[in-house]
Amino acid sequence: MMTRITQENGLRPANSFEAMVQRAQKGQVFLRKGRGFSLGELKKAGLDAVAARKMHLMIDPRRQTVYDFNVNNLGKLAIENRAILTKRASIERPQPVEKDAEKVEAVEAAE
């Protein structure tokens, strides 16, 4: 298992949603942990790569498979973390003092 870094203790909190992949051996199908979610799974769940990285999800761009159980888990995770995915509203910043002072001087000169 890969360790993930955070600010507090040097480790990111582990996701409860790990990417799972199927492998077959002698006709039996087994599930195992994968390297990350495929881009197709992210797209089908309504996420993009930027949003997945914000949620600290691993992405495996080489995978081409789309498993429904991974898509369902991604959908649940997107609903839980919708606050992270919403875009921040633009904040109006005050104009520099120099421009305001120039405007005041221009108005006073006009009077």
Return the percentage of the chain with pLDDT > 90, whole number: 22
Beta strands in the chain, from DSSP E residues, in sequence order: 20-25, 28-33
Question: Is 60 exceeded by the pLDDT of residue 4?
Answer: no
In this prediction, residues 40-52 reach a mean pLDDT of 90
Residue 48's pLDDT is what? Answer: 87
- Out of 47-51, 89-93, 95-99, 103-107, pick the least confident: 89-93
All residues at 6 or more sequence positions from 52 whose CB lies less than 8 Å from its CB, including other chains: 37, 42, 59
Q: Is the CB of residue 20 less than 8 Å from the CB of residue 58?
A: no
Q: Is the pTM of this model over 0.75?
A: no
pLDDT band at 1 (very low <50, low <70, confident <90, very high): very low
